[in-house]
Amino acid sequence: MLSCKQKAGPVLAAEYLHHEDGMQVITSLINNKNKTISIIYGNQLAAAFAGNVQREHQAGEKYVMVTSDQRPMPHWYGTNMNGAILCVEYATAVVTEEGGVGFDYMRRSGNGKLMTEGVDETSRIRFMTGQPAAVHP
């Protein structure tokens, strides 16, 4: 007889997770100065660009950057994990009137409210789409 029981798998804190169908992790970023963790997700086209499989942006690329505050990870002293979602940014590649490729951008707060004040959309798009893909095993 065992004196205690343990769950077979990890217990996820669903309130701190973001999910969208068809998206995969491109990379993650930690900003200790601002105490934030960001994860950039992308669809297959975005992942191909981030992984240098394609050299030019293509209409249909979709990037989602989720920024959360850091909170201490239980049972791992000195390690942080994602906490409450602060904002979610979206950049989607579209065909421009001239026939080229441009981006639509949107930013929402953690509670879903549209954020339009004080955002340099061009720099945010460049930042999100300019991150190289993390190496996955």
Predicted TM-score (pTM) of the model is 0.83
* pLDDT for residue 13: 54
The mean pLDDT value for 25-54 works out to 93
Residue bearing the bigger pLDDT, 60 or 2: 60
Show the tokens assigned to 118.
């004080």
pLDDT tens figures, 57-105: 999 999 999 999 998 888 888 888 888 999 999 999 999 999 999 999 9
* pLDDT for residue 80: 85
3 C-beta neighbours (distance < 10 Å), count: 4
The mean pLDDT value for 28-53 works out to 93
